[in-house]
Structure 1
Amino acid sequence: MSRAPDLRPLEGLTVTIKDVLDQTGQCSSHGSLVFRDLRATRDHPVVARIKQAGGIIHARTTTFEFA
């Protein structure tokens, strides 16, 4: 089964990411109340690659403090 040439590998796939991965404009507490109001100014490389591949960041999942 082949895919259309203009589709990226994760096109339209919803993805969840851990709170330790920064996402531009989103709160990135890294599981700690100390950083509960910290807003990321850039995407973590993993998040950037997911977006470049067409993935949709659907939700963020919690983690232990500082992972």
Structure 2
Amino acid sequence: MSILIEVDATANISFIIVREVAKAEPPLLGLYDIGGEGVLEVKARVDFYGQDMVGNWVEATGFLTIFFTNYADE
């Protein structure tokens, strides 16, 4: 994936934090039978690396919290 972001500009990009297949694997699979009673809280660190237009190394780090539970259809 690559994107050009101008100085002092912002950009929106999409990327996957949790693969869809993870719902069918432990520990998320264990949330299936307990309804909305159990919640799994995980922390994610996302690191971005790249180069600017003259070859200088740049990087940025972000953090997010994800709450998993069985959000059953009502």
Give the TM-score normalised by the residue count of structure 2: 0.28
Looking at both structures, which has the greater relative contact order when contacts are Cα pairs under 8 Å and sequence separation is at least 6? Answer: 1
Bigger fraction of residues in strand: 2
Which structure would you say has the larger Rg?
A: 2
